[in-house]
């Protein structure tokens, strides 16, 4: 299945899908040294986002989150790509700084058609996702 979306940050990546039904903050939500979700009570608490296609509705929280994404990329603990329903500035800035492919406004809701563990290819340069 191919799904078209809006390119925010270009690039190509592929990996296993990790789905969060709730918004996510990189500041305080993840350990940048390990890539493990640390936010207490978050549905993904204890899961690793390293090298996965991380799908969540939108970001939340502090502007420091963009620097956390950049730090994670430098440490090798960042997600391979990010898909959002609606990307906000913090996530867009972090992905741009870190070179993480980022799409949003997909023609179908990725939270409804992509399942955790699916192999996903993100071609943000051409604005599509393949499952």
The residues annotated as belonging to the active site are 62
Helix, strand or coil for residue 9? Answer: strand
Residue 15 neighbours by CB distance under 10 Å: 19
Instruction: Spell out the residues 6+ positions from residue 25 whose beta carbon is closer than 8 angstroms to its own.
Output: 39, 59, 60, 61, 62, 65
Angle at 15 between CA 18 and CA 2, to 5 degrees: 90
Q: Which residue has the tokens 């996510």?
A: 24
Which residues are within 8 A (CB) of 54 and not within 5 positions of it... i.e. 6 or more apart?
Answer: 18, 20, 24, 79, 81, 82, 83
């Amino acid at each position: 299945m191919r799904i078209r979306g809006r390119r925010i940050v270009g690039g190509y990546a592929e990996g296993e899908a990790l789905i969060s039904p709730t918004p996510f903050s990189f500041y305080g939500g993840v350990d940048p040294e390990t890539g493990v979700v640390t936010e207490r009570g978050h549905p993904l608490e204890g899961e690793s986002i390293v090298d996965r296609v991380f799908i969540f509705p939108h970001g939340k929280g502090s502007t420091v989150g963009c620097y956390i994404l950049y730090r994670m990329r430098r440490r090798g603990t960042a997600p391979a790509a990010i898909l959002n329903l609606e990307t906000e500035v913090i996530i867009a800035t972090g992905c741009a700084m870190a070179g993480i492919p980022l799409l949003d406004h997909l023609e179908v809701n990725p939270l409804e058609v992509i399942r955790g563990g699916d192999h996903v290819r993100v071609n943000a340069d051409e604005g599509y996702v393949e499952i």
